[in-house]
Chain A
Amino acid sequence: MEQDVLPRTAAPAPAARRTQLAQGVRDSFSAGLGIFPLGIALGLLIIQAGLPWWLAPALSLAAFAGSLELLLVGMMATVTPLAAVALTVLVVNFRHVFYAFSFPLHLVRHPVAKAYAVYAMIDEAYAVSASLREHERSAPRLLAMQIACETYWVGGGLVGVALGAALPAPVKGLEFALCALFTVLTLDAFRSRKELPSLVLAGASAAVALVVTPGMAMFTALLLFVGLLLARHAVSARRSVQGAASA
């Protein structure tokens, strides 16, 4: 466990806060490289599906969850029953349940800011904050990053809508930035050999999920991973009890 070296003050000085806000915006740039093009793709998709343009910002504000929104456009265009929509949302976004374990919400004091931080807890926000060390984190930094990400996402959607079908062939593959970002953040979160068991268990979960349920690999992989971590906890708890008994 890392301890803060400096005593934590109740309210940071204005200069410190400005630095933290700037750090948060800087954190958001790499995520924005993936989020903004994906937003454009969403806007284009909405126009191509014959849906009204206002759906791009409305959906981005209501859901604020990239992969789900791309999925929903197709479902809405074919007027999928609401129960099926609800089930899809539940399955696709179920992973957010696990983010709470290590998302630094305790740093955010103000109730409105707290509510926003939870609402805006997207994959990228979780990933960026999870790769920071405890002493690097702060509420202004976290919130600035989240607000910037939402701006990229809604802005990208509006740009996509504006471009409409006018673009003959938009540049393909920009969404790869998200894959690159998650790869880099995994490297940053892997700080010592202590992380190796988690990484191996996650790798095994992902491999099994991709083979067994390729259509919903992330959902299955996260469930398996959490199951394996619970098993690991049970094993290490028993081992420490035995160690205490034999000592």
Chain B
Amino acid sequence: MPSSSYLIAVLAIVFSITLALRAAPFAVLGRLRDSAIVQRLAVWMPVGILAILAVTALHGTITSDAHGAWYALLAVTVTIGVHLAFGRRTILSVCAGTAVYVVLLNSL
């Protein structure tokens, strides 16, 4: 079992690097807020970053349980279908998709 001092050193490293990565861009952007490129990126980025998060989360799900790949694709389809059909209620859509995946994965 690793020593407590090792674990605390890991915690300190993780805390400082993660916080620095989250904070540093704001310090730089504060001065660049009026630049055309920063304003454009602020508008262009969200939908693309969200799509990348969705795709890589799906990929992670599939690689952690390879036999559930089709269930995962079906569950994504259900999520999208419910979201568009029932008035974009996020919690309902997420619950429906997750329920489909969990039920299929644990029962089949």
Residues of A within 8 A of B (CB): 29-30, 33-34, 50-52, 55, 58-59, 62-65, 67-68, 72, 75-77, 79, 82, 85-86, 89-90, 93-102, 105, 118-119, 121, 123, 126-127, 130-131, 171-190, 195, 197-199, 201-203, 205-206, 209-210, 214, 217-218, 221-222, 225-226, 229-230, 232-233, 236-237
- Which of B9, B11, B46 counts the most A-chain CB atoms under 10 A from its CB? B46
B interface size (C-beta, 8 A)? 70
Q: Which residues of A contact B54 (CB under 8 A)?
A: 179, 182-183, 185-186
Besides the known contacts A206-B51, A217-B55, 15 further A-B residue pairs in the complex with CB atoms under 8 A apart: A30-B91, A51-B7, A76-B7, A93-B17, A93-B18, A101-B41, A171-B106, A175-B64, A176-B98, A180-B101, A185-B50, A186-B51, A187-B88, A198-B45, A205-B48
Residues of B within 8 A of A (CB): 1-2, 4, 6-7, 9-15, 17-19, 21-26, 29, 36-38, 40-61, 63-65, 68, 72, 75-76, 79-80, 83-84, 88, 90-91, 93-95, 97-98, 101-102, 105-106
Knowing A64-B18, A65-B18, the reply to whether A50 touches B93 (Cβ < 8 A) is no
Minimum C-beta distance from A134 to chain B (A): 11
Tell me the complex Cα distance, A51–B8, Å. Answer: 13
Q: Which residues of B contact A130 (CB under 8 A)?
A: 46, 49-50
A221 lies within 8 A of B56 (CB): yes
Q: Which residues of B contact A51 (CB under 8 A)?
A: 1-2, 7
Q: Which residues of A contact B45 (CB under 8 A)?
A: 98, 101-102, 198, 225-226, 229
